[in-house]
Amino acid sequence: MQITRTKLFENERLQVGLFEARVASDACGDVDRQTSNLLVLPFSGVFSKYDAPGRYVIGTPSHAVFIAADTPYRLGFPGAIGDRALTFRFDEDLAPEQLDGSDKADGIASHGLLSANAMMLRTLLGRRLQRATADAFEIETMALDLVHLSLNSMRRKTLVVGQPTLARRIRALERVKEAVAAAPADKWNVARLAKIANLAPFHLCHVFRELVGTSVYNYVLQERLARALDHVMDQGDDLTAIAMQVGFASHSHFTERFRRFFGCTPAELRRNTSVGRVREMCKIMIARLN
């Protein structure tokens, strides 16, 4: 396993970095701890964070994953795909209200499903940090907005269900997320995912919406769009090739779904994030949050 950590920005309250993992196995690594709170937002790939035997959450480009300071955990990389992510290190006083109790999670509060705005802001921030001329005040503002959005996505839900039952349901849904993350372009259906979860199809749909906050279909769609976002901004691959790579049947289907979710077509986003326009796009995204 080869892991690279690159510091991209730092001040007295916050550190932003790039995490890259190239792996040859899906085996879990050694037990680790962080000296400060760590928020992980993947651009690509997939990883699993284990808090205890049999208790884990999946991190993909559609998720934010929180690792509390001084809490033991292990990382795994399903499918030996590896991972590339923005990381944010900070202390409790950065967001005391949002962090209160989040380190006591049973698996739900330690990760969340990102909104379209959060995904876009994450990817735009990554682009800004690559530019040596990036303004420190601007970067800090974008990073804090992104931390806020990410932590809000992890808010607990009040669930009327016993802890053993809840734990089983969480494990079942994480198996579904892991399968989708490893092969987002597969032709998924409810029956196939229900078999992975070891739940009846109807029960899977109900539990998934209750715990994840969206339908299983929309989750797979969002996972595909999240994977596509970084490729679209890279300015390299043909958009039709990207559409097929992440699981869409055609360029037009990809374009329509992308527009509905992110508010612009892939071609429009690519034009607007060409050299010299990333900063303007960042301002637009921040304005949407206010």
Find the range with the poorest average confidence among 104-108, 139-143, 255-259, 275-279.
104-108
At 274 the pLDDT is 66
* Residue recorded with tokens 């995904």: 119
- CB 140, CB 9: distance < 8 Å: yes
Q: Looking at this protein, which amino acid is placed at residue 268? A: E
Show the domain range for 69.
2-152
Average pLDDT estimate for 34-60: 92
pLDDT in tens, 221-256: 999 999 999 999 887 779 999 999 999 999 999 999
Same domain, 19 and 147: yes
- CB 127, CB 78: distance < 8 Å: no
Rounded to the nearest angstrom, the gap between the alpha carbon of residue 179 and the centroid of all alpha carbons in its chain is 15
Sign of CA dihedral 203, 152, 128, 14: negative
At 133 the pLDDT is 65
Q: Which residue has the higher pLDDT, 163 or 287?
A: 163
Most distant CA atoms of the chain, gap in Å: 54
At 158 the pLDDT is 52
In a domain, 288, yes or no: no
In a domain, 272, yes or no: yes
H or E element at residue 96: helix 96-99
Among residues 34, 75, 73, 37, which one has the least CA distance to residue 52? 73
Average pLDDT estimate for 98-123: 73
Count the domains in the chain. Answer: 2
Q: Which residue has the higher pLDDT, 281 or 13?
A: 13
Please give the Cα distance from 144 to 118 (Å, whole number): 11
Q: Which residues contact 195 (CB under 8 A, 6 or more apart)?
A: none
Q: Which residue, 152, 175, 207, sits at the end of a domain?
A: 152
Residue 272 — very low, low, confident or very high, per pLDDT cuts 50/70/90? confident
> How much is the pTM?
0.86
β-sheet bridge partners, residue 17: 7, 87
Q: What is the CATH classification number for the domain harbouring 202?
A: 1.10.10.60
Q: What is the CATH classification number for the domain harbouring 119?
A: 2.60.120.10
In a domain, 254, yes or no: yes
Q: Which residue, 117, 152, 187, sits at the end of a domain?
A: 152
In a domain, 287, yes or no: no
